[in-house]
Structures are given as structure tokens and as C-alpha cells.
Amino acid sequence: MTRIIAGTAGSLRLEVPKAGTRPTSDRVREAIFSALESWNLLAGSRILDLYAGSGALGLEAASRGANRIVLVEKHPQAAQVAVRNAKTVAQAFHGAKVPSIDVSRSSVQHYLDAAAGEQFDVIMLDPPYDLGEQELKANLTAVVPLISADGAVLVERSSRSPEPSWPEGLSRFREKRYGETVLWWAEATQDDASQGED
């Protein structure tokens, strides 16, 4: 059973697809969102949740104050679960301003290639552990023009996987291990001194 941990929809139960996804544990999700809150990257933010599965990561962000959330999931059953979960979370706002939550039934690479001009403050990739390193690098390369100057990119991987191959335009600034899971954090490369505020 997966639940929203905190925020407006805190403790709400979410559906999980019967197969084909690997939900992020509560401990790891709490670590992700504690970090994002400490960096002021949640309230009013734009979130892109790639390989979304049930949508738990993006919907946790919605519950905690994100303004716009896009969940990208190509598996039809998982995408349907994400749509139902998004409706459940939206209902928890009881008339308060509901964040914009969209589910895109698309492959990650197709979505990224078509998303020119979009900007997100947080982009999260939680791909299947068997995703090839070259495919992950292609995803990350396509993410570069979509991340805001002060935003963050998260890659969640198995502790047995190598560090992602970061493309030009992204630089890793943090690595955290939680048992079998590693969280890799990256940011846009600051090549313009005028963007130098941290």
C-alpha cells in the first residue's frame, strides 16, 4: 500500500499498478521531499515526474504545495492508475486551489522530445532498474533544456547501477544511498555568472 506522506492529501491511500512498477519506499520519498522543501523547490513549483508509475512522487509534490505536475507513464494500466490517483488527490483539496495535474500516456523520450519550450523546477526520473544506461543518458540530455536555472533533477536508481552519465548542461551535486536505492541529484550547469545565486 502506498500513501501520500504529508501535506493537504497526507495519509491518503494511492492505488498501485498490479505489475510492472516499483514504488518508492516511504523512507526514500520522505528523504526526497525533505530535501526539496529545504531547497525551497516545492511551494508553487512545476514538477515533471518521469516513469511515474502510480504517480506517487508527483502527487506527493502536489500535496505539499507544487503548482503544476506532469506525470509521464507509457504503460497503459499504470497510466490509468495514475489518472485515478490524481483525481483522488485533487479531491482532497476540498475547494481550495487545486494544483494542475496532467497524466501523459507516452514514452519518456517521446514526451521529452515534444516538450520544447516547457520549464520545470524539479524533474524526477525513477526508471525501471533494467533501463539501459544509454537510454537514461538520452533522457537526461533531453531534460537539460527543460530544467529551470535554479531547479533540480533527481535520478533514482538501484545501488548496483553505475552513476548516471551526466550530459553537458547538468552537474551532479549530491548522492544519497538508502539500502538498495541511490538518489542522484543534479542541477543545471551555471555557465552564466548572472545565474549565480544559490
99-148 pLDDT per residue, tens = 999 999 999 999 999 998 899 999 999 999 889 999 999 999 999 999 99
Q: Which domains are seen in the chain, by residue range?
A: 2-189 (3.40.50.150)
Residue 69: CA count within 13 A, CB half-sphere: 30
Confidence band, pLDDT 50/70/90 cuts, at residue 23: confident
Computed over every residue of the chain, the mean pLDDT equals 92
Separation CA 89–CA 86 (nearest Å): 5
42-84 pLDDT per residue, tens = 999 999 999 999 999 999 999 999 999 999 999 999 999 999 9
Task: With beta carbons less than 8 A apart as the criterion, state whether 163 and 184 touch.
Answer: yes
pTM of the model: 0.92
Identify any residues that bridge with 152 across adjacent strands, giving them in sequence order. 122
Residue in 102, 73, 75 with CA at minimum distance from that of residue 86: 102
Distance of CA 45 to the CA centre of its chain: 12
152-187 pLDDT per residue, tens = 999 999 999 999 999 999 999 999 999 999 999 999
Provide the 3-class DSSP secondary structure of residue 99: coil
